[in-house]
Structure formats: structure tokens, C-alpha cells
């Protein structure tokens, strides 16, 4: 049955009911009643002898109630009502009722045990009553780890006998039959009384007699069991064995106090050892992460390149590999580092230890600052790579354009200086001289037409020399441009000199060949137009948008519309040549087919015109290819925007949901933790969408797309949002786990936690996760905390603020608020409690010896204390004495070791 104090005992009818149940199941042994009678009689006499009396027959000697009342007075230390001295039956019943009333006053609910049965000598009822007294006054107060009395006594026996060979205490029926368990209990506390190594499991009677004799002679525990009865009974009586074993427990109660003290010390030391392990783990992770950041920063800050487009593209690919492979594990490491740090600080607060201060340069803020520096360096590095790509692409385009135009110009000027310096006109006939003059005029026209090309070449060279572009081969470009310009100046001077000479000869020469002249006049500009057109049709271009390529296509279409007029001009020029050929053939003029005014021929015009007509469809194809490329770029922009416009809001919604859960008003802490872990799984399941975006983004960058008007999201903002979401989930999971740890370790209820969270959120209007001092004061008042409005109230509140905001930030965060409210609501172990526990192990000495620590504590924790305890320097010390007081205060940060 369950008593009001939570103790499981068989009282009254419970005693009878259990025996009836055992009898039905065939478990009841008739010898049990005999064993109980012997044991209970011996137990009663062990107490009655203190009053100078005893009983011989348990069912007879308690019938008048006098010795029963005397037994209760002895074991309780209290005085019962005066007994009736008459010998009549009603006198006896009155005395027994006084005894039963006293038992009931101790919280024992007796059922089916009446005074009449005791007065009539009912053995079962009498034994049931004595068992009730034994349970209440000898066993009830036995408690190990908050178990019931029976379970506590059994656990005590198991712990005490655990190191002993051939002893395995599982119950109070069979585990004590061979006597070794009794001998082990005595040897554990008094090894000087029994040589346990000489005992054998094969000699149970000898073992039992040894234990009972030693207990009676040296420990003042009377024989309550008969060795023969224990051996000859298949299942010894549990109550008899429990009664006798409880005497051992009370005999060694002093040692039990030492064990309790040792357990408390072990618990405290385990906390410290675990905290030290977490500190070492934090230092290792922090050092590794900071070292990785230190090694990575020079690479990100480097702006060294070979000034080539291929080299920069290689660096860009290396950066993408870094973002995909090298950084994600470090993001997880950073989150784990913050989680471990928060868990450690929570454990330190819960165990009244001082807060952990990492090694200089390894605090959470140091790591956060280094991480921010890393992210800034990443952003700057990526921006530099993209800028370098654009710059080098433009440089490469300009350099190729310069080379193309310079090559064309140098081809045109080849031989021109020799021609202008020639004195051929001095040997010519009149018509030949005039032809030379016209030819020279045509050349001047051509020369003037080439002026624009020279200016274009100089302009391109000047653009390549712009300091911001940093073109690597400016020297050779400048040298070539200077050679072209110098040659151009020489050509101008030579042209003018030859013109003067021809003008001088013109006064002599009169006849002009009109047809040749007309051809030369028309052929030169048309030839120049052909050359310019051919250059334009093969000219390179670079575009980045649909509008730009469409503009080029439109301009090309406009050019094609002029081809009809050009075709007419071509036919006119060709017809001039045919007319000359007709006249020469008709009149057989020697050398008449040679045009003295130009080197151009109809074949030249035909070939160049044919080239132009072939280049037009090629230009069509080039523009069409570029249009498809820009269409593909537009498709990539839309693909990225479509995906980003889904992923971005999804991340924002998850952030809002996680933040809402983090406010702590959605169910119990376990519910919040479950939901957060569901979100964590959902986020990791969503990761393929981020990876798909990264692939699209890589294609966007490889296509040199630098803007996207279809979305406001960039890959960088999505990466940052993704990492912030992961960090927020990990941080909230850690906070909820720490709150569960706080709740469970401090014994506060879920209702209290909900009340603390609800009050905090009520005053956290902006949902920042922190309160100002005034908001914090209002929150305390709402929870029933009394803070006066006078000067003393202000001083009290300032003291509270110093606890919850030790760094004087001006804000109170929820974890500090919860820690404060938890300390206000619960008790924790203190340095004084640990000192008291060590004092018990040291037998009230102000110091403790290493041997005492090794005897009372587990080996690893004993050595932990010995290595860290300073030597005792007080009076009456002995060699090797250790100062447990300063060690205990150091555990709680009250002193330094």
C-alpha cells in the first residue's frame, strides 16, 4: 500500500493480503512465520533492553499492551499516555489501543489490525503490527536517491557489496542465504573484523555464523536470524531479512554520511571535469577556425594576377570552388563553436561556476569579427575578379581592334614612300605626265580618306594607355602607333613635294585622258568606300544586352538598303573601263589600256565588290549568332530571377517562422525544439534549390552577365540569407536546449518557464530579444517581484542589473533573465555545501589526506582533487595535508588556485 509520505509498505490488511496472495501463488513458506517470530522478537529485545526488560514470546508478552507501549516509547523517544494497570480484558484492550493510536499518529494508516486480535494473541496480527512498527521506525527513513524505503535499502546493499566477489544482491529472499553479503557489509565498513578473502561460497553456515557473531560481539547487533533456518528454507522470509539488514544500515549510518558527502563531491567534480572538457574543445575549435581564417585572408586580399583574361577566369573558378567546397564546413564549425560556447556558459551558470573567459583573441566576439572580416574580404575579392574580367575583356577587344586597323593601314602604305619619291614623270610623254598628275591627285584623295583611319588608330592606342585599364603591352602599342604617325607625316610631306613637281611639269603637258581621269575620280572614292565597308563588315564588336545587338542589326539593315546605289556606281565605273577598252581597240592606241591616273583596275573593283557581297551574309550570320547568345543570356537572367524570386521569399519566411518559435510562446520547450528540428530538416532538404541557383549563377557569370533587371536578389544576398537562416536555427535550437537544461536541472516547471517567457515577450515590444532596464523592471514587477520606489529600491534594482547585465550593455537578454529568475526560484549546490562534504570525509579536520580521498572517492576523481588541492598551511597540519576549503571555493570562482 502507498502511505501519504510515498513509502510503499504492507500495513494491517495489506500484510494479510500479501500473505494470502503468496499462499494462492504457492509462494508462502510455513517457515516464514517462524523466521519472523525469531527476528521480530530479537529486534524488539534490542530496544527493550534499553529499558531493562525483554520479551520471551511475542504473541503472549504484548497482550496486555504494557511492553508494547514501552517499546514504542523507547524507539520513538516520546512519552505515551499513562497505561491502565488493571488485569481485566478491557484494561488490556485500552493499553493496546493507546499503542495503536500512537502508531496512527505517526502517519501510519492501519487497517484490519485491532486491539482485540493482539489481546487474544493472534500471531499473524501481532507479527503484522510489529512489522508495521519496524517499517515506520527502522526502515522508513532509509532513502537512497529518492527511492522507497525497500528499494533504497536494497540499493544501499548493492552499492556497498558491488566490489565483492561472489556477492550479487538482487532481493531480500535469496541474495543473503550464503552469508557472503552480510560479511561483505561488515568488511566494507570494518575490514579489521573479517578477513573476507578467506571466506568461501561453499561454506554458507560458516559465513552466516561468522557474520552474526561478529555483528553481535563488535557491532552490538543481536542475532535476529537463525543460520539453519536460512539454509533449510527454500525462500527465506523477506521481512525478517530486511529487519536484520536495516540494523546494519543504522549501525553504519556514520559511514553513510561519509558516502553521501563523497557522492556530493563526485557530482561537483564531474561537473568541473565536463566543463573543462568543453573549454578545451572550444579552444581547439576556435584555434582551428581562426587559423583557417588567418590562412585564407591573404589569398582573398591578394590582387595579383598575370593581367590576362585566362588568368583572371582561373582565379574566379578557384573562388567558386572555395565557396562550394571549402567554406560550408567552416560555416558549420562556426555554428558548432557558438553552440558549444552557449551550452558551456549555461552549464557554468547552472552549477554556480564563474563564466568561462576564452583565451585572449578567441572569444565569440573575436571569432565573429574575424568572420565578418572574412566575408568583407570575400565580397571585395569577388567584386575585384568581376571588374578585372570586364577590364581585361575590353582590353583584349581594343588590342585586337588596334592590330586589325594597324595591319590594314600598313598594308595600304606599303610602297607608298618609294612611289612618292620616284622621278618617273621626268621620262614620260605629255599624256603620261598628265596621267601621273591625275594619278597623284587620286592618291591625295585616297590619302585624305585615310586620315580618319590614322586618327582611329591613335585614338585606340590612347584608350589602351588609360591608367585605369593597365594594359600590359602598352609599350609595343605606343611604338607601333608612333611609327604609323611618323610615316603618315612623311607621306604628307612627300605627297606635297611630288605635287609641286607635277605642277611644274604640268605647264609642259597639256592633253588629258578624260576617260582615265573619270575612272580614277570615281574609282578612288568607291574603292575607299569598298575598303571601309569591308573593314566595317569584319569589325569586331562586344555587347551585353538585347538592345545593343538589336541596334547593331538595325544599323546593318540600314546599310544593306544602300547596296542598290552602290551597285549602280560599280556598274558605272566598270562601264568607263569598258569604254576605254573599246576606244583602245578601235583606235589601236599603244599603252592606251594603262590608266596613268590610278593603279586601280576594274578587276580590283570587281574583286572588292564581290568580297563585300560575300561579307554581307557572313555579317548577317555573325549578328544572328550574337542575337542568339544575348537571347540565351536573357533566358539565364530569367531562370536565375525566377528561382531567386522563389528562394529569397522562402528563406525570409523560414527566418520569420524560426524567429516566431524563438519567442517561446508556441507550446512546451520540447514542442519548440521538435518544431525547430523539423525546420532544420526542411532547410537542409531545401539545399538542392540553393545548389541549383549556384549552378545558374555560375552560368550567368561565365556568360559575362553583370546585371539582371528581373530580380532584386543577388547570389551574394541569398548566400548570406541562407547562412543566417542556418545560424538562426542552430542558435534557437541551442537556446531551447539550454532552457530545457535549465528547467530540468533546477526543477522549475514548464508553467514557470511559460510565465517567464510570456512576461519577457510582453515587454519586448519590438521583438529584439532584449529588454531595456525600465522594461526589465516592469517585467519583474509583473512577476510579483517587489521593487520599492524609494532610494533603497533603486539600489536593489541596480544590484539586480549588475547580475543580469554584467558588461553594462544597457540591455537584458532572455538567457540572463531566465538564469536570474531560475536562481530566484530554485536552490543550487554551493561552495559551503562542498566544504561540509569534505569535512565529513576528513572527520572534522580542517585538512584532508590523499589516502582519505583515495578511500572515499572514485580513483579518477580522487586524483583530480589531489592534483589541484593546494597544501594545507594552517595549524596542526601533517605532512601531505591538503587544503580542501580553498579548493572548494575555487570551484565556484570565489578564490584563485
Q: Which pLDDT score, from 0 to 100, does residue 646 have?
A: 92
> What would the pLDDT profile of 238-264 be if each residue is shown by its tens digit?
888 989 898 888 888 766 667 677 777
Question: DSSP string covering 25-40, please?
Answer: TT---THHHHHHHHHH
Contact 702, 660 (CB under 8 A): no
Statement: residue 8 has pLDDT above 60: no
**Domain spanning 31-262 has what CATH number?**
1.10.418.10
Segments in 764-843 forming alpha helices (H) = 773-782, 791-804, 814-825, 831-841
Q: Which pLDDT score, from 0 to 100, does residue 847 have?
A: 92
Residue with the larger pLDDT of the pair 582 and 27: 582
> What would the pLDDT profile of 749-775 be if each residue is shown by its tens digit?
777 777 777 777 788 777 777 889 888
Distance CA 623, CA 620 (A): 5
Q: Which pLDDT score, from 0 to 100, does residue 494 have?
A: 86
Statement: residue 511 has pLDDT above 60: no
β-strand partners of 181: none
The architecture (CATH level 2) of 831-892 comes to: Orthogonal Bundle (1.10)
Residues contacting residue 252 through CB under 8 Å, at least 6 positions apart = 185, 189
Residues contacting residue 185 through CB under 8 Å, at least 6 positions apart = 157, 160, 161, 245, 248, 252
What confidence category does residue 184 fall into, taking pLDDT thresholds of 50, 70 and 90? very high
Long-range contact list for 255-263, CB < 8 A, 24+ apart?
255/189, 256/156, 257/840, 258/840, 258/841, 258/856, 259/159, 259/856, 260/837, 260/840, 261/836, 261/837, 261/838, 261/839, 261/840, 261/841, 261/856, 262/837, 262/841, 262/856, 262/857
Statement: residue 9 has pLDDT above 60: no
**What is the CATH topology of the domain spanning 415-501?**
Methane Monooxygenase Hydroxylase; Chain G, domain 1 (1.20.58)
What confidence category does residue 512 fall into, taking pLDDT thresholds of 50, 70 and 90? very low
Distance CA 157, CA 171 (A): 10
Distance CA 215, CA 349 (A): 48
What percentage of the chain reaches a pLDDT higher than 90?
12
> What would the pLDDT profile of 851-881 be if each residue is shown by its tens digit?
888 888 888 888 999 998 999 998 888 899 9
CATH 1.10.238.10 residue ranges for the chain: 747-824, 831-892
SS3 assignment, position 848 = strand
Contact 323, 268 (CB under 8 A): no
Mean pLDDT lowest for which of 13-27, 188-202, 552-566?
Answer: 13-27
Statement: residue 535 has pLDDT above 70: yes
Contact 326, 721 (CB under 8 A): no
Contact 246, 61 (CB under 8 A): no
Q: Which pLDDT score, from 0 to 100, does residue 171 have?
A: 92
**Domain spanning 263-414 has what CATH number?**
1.20.58.60
Mean pLDDT lowest for which of 114-123, 135-144, 415-424?
Answer: 135-144
> What would the pLDDT profile of 566-596 be if each residue is shown by its tens digit?
888 888 888 877 877 777 677 565 666 777 7
Statement: residue 720 has pLDDT above 60: yes
User: What are the grid coordinates assigned to 364, written together?
Assistant: 565569440
Question: DSSP string covering 647-676, please?
Answer: HHHHHHHHHHHHHHHHTT-SS-HHHHHHHH
**What is the CATH topology of the domain spanning 747-824?**
Recoverin; domain 1 (1.10.238)
CATH 1.20.58.60 residue ranges for the chain: 263-414, 415-501
Contact 736, 672 (CB under 8 A): yes
Query: Which contiguous run of DSSP H or E holds residue 71?
Result: helix 66-76
What is the model's pTM? 0.51
What confidence category does residue 302 fall into, taking pLDDT thresholds of 50, 70 and 90? confident
Q: Which pLDDT score, from 0 to 100, does residue 7 have?
A: 33
Q: Please report the beta strands in 828-869, taking only residues with DSSP state E, as ranges in sequence order.
A: none
Distance CA 480, CA 486 (A): 10
Distance CA 632, CA 709 (A): 15
Statement: residue 427 has pLDDT above 70: no
Q: Which residues of 605-618 are buried (b: 16+ CB within 10 A; e: fewer)?
A: beebbebbeebeee
Count the neighbouring beta carbons within 10 Å of the beta carbon of residue 486.
Answer: 10
Mean pLDDT lowest for which of 156-165, 540-549, 726-735?
Answer: 540-549
Statement: residue 145 has pLDDT above 70: no
Q: Which residue, chain included where needed, has cell 593581367?
A: 307
Rounded mean pLDDT of 470-482? 81
Q: Which pLDDT score, from 0 to 100, does residue 429 have?
A: 62
Q: Which pLDDT score, from 0 to 100, does residue 715 have?
A: 86
Distance CA 831, CA 893 (A): 9
Rounded mean pLDDT of 467-475? 70
SS3 assignment, position 882 = strand
SS3 assignment, position 518 = helix
What confidence category does residue 27 fall into, taking pLDDT thresholds of 50, 70 and 90? very low
Amino acid at each position: 500500500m502507498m502511505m501519504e509520505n510515498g513509502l510503499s509498505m504492507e500495513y494491517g490488511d495489506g500484510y494479510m493480503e500479501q500473505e494470502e496472495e503468496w499462499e494462492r501463488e504457492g509462494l508462502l513458506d510455513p517457515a516464514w512465520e517462524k523466521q519472523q517470530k525469531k527476528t521480530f522478537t530479537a529486534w524488539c529485545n534490542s530496544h527493550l533492553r534499553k529499558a531493562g526488560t525483554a520479551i520471551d514470546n511475542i504473541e503472549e508478552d504484548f497482550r496486555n499492551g504494557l511492553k508494547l507501549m514501552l517499546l514504542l516509547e523507547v524507539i520513538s523517544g516520546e512519552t505515551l499516555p499513562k497505561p491502565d494497570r488493571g488485569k481485566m480484558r478491557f484494561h488490556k484492550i485500552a493499553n493496546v489501543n493507546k499503542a495503536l493510536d500512537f502508531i496512527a499518529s505517526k502517519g501510519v494508516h492501519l487497517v484490519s489490525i485491532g486491539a482485540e486480535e493482539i489481546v487474544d494473541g493472534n500471531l499473524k496480527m501481532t507479527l503484522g503490527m510489529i512489522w508495521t512498527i519496524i517499517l515506520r521506525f527502522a526502515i522508513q527513513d532509509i532513502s537512497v536517491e529518492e527511492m522507497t524505503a525497500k528499494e533504497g535499502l536494497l540499493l544501499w546493499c548493492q552499492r556497498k557489496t558491488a566490489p565483492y566477489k561472489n556477492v550479487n544482491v538482487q532481493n531480500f529472499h535469496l541474495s543473503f542465504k550464503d552469508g557472503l553479503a552480510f560479511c561483505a557489509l561488515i568488511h566494507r565498513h570494518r575490514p579489521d573484523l573479517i578477513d573476507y578473502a578467506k571466506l568461501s561460497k561453499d561454506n554458507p553456515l560458516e559465513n552466516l555464523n561468522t557474520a552474526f557473531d561478529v555483528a553481535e560481539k563488535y557491532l552490538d547487533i543481536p542475532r535476529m536470524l537463525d543460520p539453519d533456518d536460512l539454509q533449510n528454507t527454500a525462500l527465506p522470509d523477506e521481512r525478517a531479512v530486511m529487519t536484520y539488514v536495516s540494523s546494519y544500515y543504522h549501525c553504519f549510518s556514520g559511514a553513510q554520511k561519509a558516502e553521501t558527502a563523497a557522492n556530493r563531491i563526485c557530482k561537483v567534480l564531474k561537473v568541473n571535469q565536463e566543463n573543462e572538457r568543453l573549454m578545451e574543445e572550444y579552444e581547439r575549435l576556435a584555434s582551428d577556425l581562426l587559423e583557417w581564417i588567418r590562412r585564407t585572408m591573404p589569398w582573398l586580399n591578394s590582387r595579383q594576377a598575370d593581367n590576362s583574361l585566362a588568368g583572371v577566369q582561373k582565379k574566379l573558378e578557384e573562388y567558386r570552388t572555395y565557396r562550394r567546397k571549402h567554406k560550408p564546413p567552416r560555416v558549420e564549425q562556426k555554428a558548432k563553436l557558438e553552440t558549444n560556447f552557449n551550452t558551456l556558459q549555461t552549464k557554468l551558470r547552472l552549477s554556480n561556476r564563474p563564466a568561462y573567459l576564452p583565451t585572449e583573441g578567441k572569444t565569440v566576439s573575436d571569432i565573429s569579427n574575424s568572420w565578418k572580416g572574412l566575408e568583407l574580404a570575400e565580397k571585395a575579392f569577388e567584386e575585384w575578379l568581376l571588374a578585372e574580367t570586364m577590364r581585361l575583356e575590353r582590353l583584349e577587344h581594343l588590342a585586337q581592334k588596334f592590330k586589325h586597323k594597324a595591319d590594314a593601314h600598313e598594308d595600304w602604305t606599303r610602297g607608298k614612300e618609294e612611289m612618292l619619291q620616284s622621278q618617273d614623270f621626268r621620262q614620260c610623254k605629255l599624256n603620261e605626265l598628265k596621267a601621273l598628275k591625275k594619278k597623284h591627285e587620286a592618291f591625295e584623295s585616297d590619302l585624305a580618306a585615310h586620315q580618319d583611319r590614322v586618327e582611329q588608330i591613335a585614338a585606340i592606342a590612347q584608350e589602351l594607355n588609360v591608367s585605369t585599364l593597365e594594359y600590359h603591352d602598352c609599350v609595343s602599342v605606343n611604338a607601333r602607333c608612333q611609327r604609323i604617325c611618323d610615316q603618315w607625316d612623311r607621306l604628307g610631306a612627300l605627297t606635297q613635294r611630288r605635287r609641286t613637281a607635277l605642277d611644274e611639269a604640268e605647264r609642259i603637258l597639256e592633253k588629258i585622258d578624260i576617260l582615265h581621269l573619270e575612272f580614277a575620280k570615281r574609282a578612288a572614292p568607291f574603292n575607299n568606300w569598298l575598303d571601309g565597308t569591308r573593314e566595317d563588315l569584319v569589325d569586331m564588336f562586344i555587347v551585353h544586352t538585347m538592345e545593343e545587338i538589336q541596334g547593331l542589326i538595325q544599323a546593318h539593315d540600314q546599310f544593306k538598303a544602300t547596296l542598290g546605289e552602290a551597285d549602280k556606281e560599280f556598274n558605272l565605273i566598270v562601264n568607263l573601263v569598258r569604254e576605254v577598252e573599246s576606244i583602245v581597240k578601235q583606235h589601236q592606241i599603244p599603252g592606251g589600256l594603262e590608266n596613268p591616273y590610278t593603279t586601280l583596275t576594274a578587276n580590283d573593283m570587281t574583286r572588292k565588290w564581290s568580297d563585300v557581297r560575300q561579307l554581307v551574309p557572313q555579317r548577317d550570320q555573325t549578328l544572328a549568332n550574337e542575337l542568339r547568345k544575348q537571347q540565351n543570356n536573357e533566358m539565364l537572367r530569367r531562370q536565375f530571377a525566377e528561382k531567386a524570386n522563389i528562394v529569397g521569399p522562402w528563406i525570409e519566411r523560414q527566418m520569420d517562422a524560426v524567429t516566431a518559435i524563438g519567442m517561446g510562446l508556441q507550446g512546451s520547450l520540447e514542442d519548440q525544439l521538435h518544431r525547430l528540428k523539423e525546420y532544420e530538416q526542411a532547410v537542409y532538404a531545401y539545399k538542392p534549390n540553393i545548389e541549383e541557383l549556384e549552378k545558374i549563377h555560375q552560368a550567368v557569370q561565365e556568360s559575362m552577365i553583370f546585371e539582371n533587371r528581373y530580380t532584386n536578389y543577388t547570389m551574394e544576398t541569398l548566400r548570406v540569407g541562407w547562412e543566417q537562416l542556418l545560424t538562426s536555427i542552430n542558435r534557437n535550437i541551442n537556446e531551447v536546449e539550454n532552457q530545457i537544461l535549465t528547467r530540468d536541472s533546477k526543477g522549475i516547471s514548464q508553467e514557470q518557464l511559460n510565465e517567464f517567457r510570456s512576461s519577457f515577450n510582453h515587454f519586448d515590444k519590438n521583438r529584439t530579444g532584449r529588454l531595456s532596464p525600465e522594461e526589465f523592471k516592469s517585467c519583474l514587477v509583473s512577476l510579483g517581484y517587489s521593487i520599492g520606489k524609494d532610494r533603497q529600491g533603486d539600489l536593489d534594482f541596480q544590484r539586480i542589473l549588475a547580475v543580469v547585465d554584467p558588461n553594462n550593455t544597457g540591455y537584458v537578454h532572455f538567457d540572463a533573465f531566465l538564469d536570474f529568475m531560475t536562481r530566484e526560484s530554485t536552490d543550487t549546490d554551493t561552495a559551503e555545501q562542498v566544504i561540509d562534504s569534505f569535512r565529513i570525509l576528513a572527520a572534522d579536520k580542517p585538512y584532508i589526506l590523499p589516502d582519505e580521498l583515495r578511500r572515499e572517492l572514485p580513483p579518477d576523481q580522487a586524483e583530480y582533487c589531489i592534483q589541484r588541492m593546494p597544501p594545507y598551511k594552517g595549524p596542526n597540519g601533517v605532512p601531505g595535508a591538503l587544503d580542501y576549503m580553498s579548493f572548494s571555493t575555487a570551484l565556484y570562482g570565489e578564490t584563485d588556485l
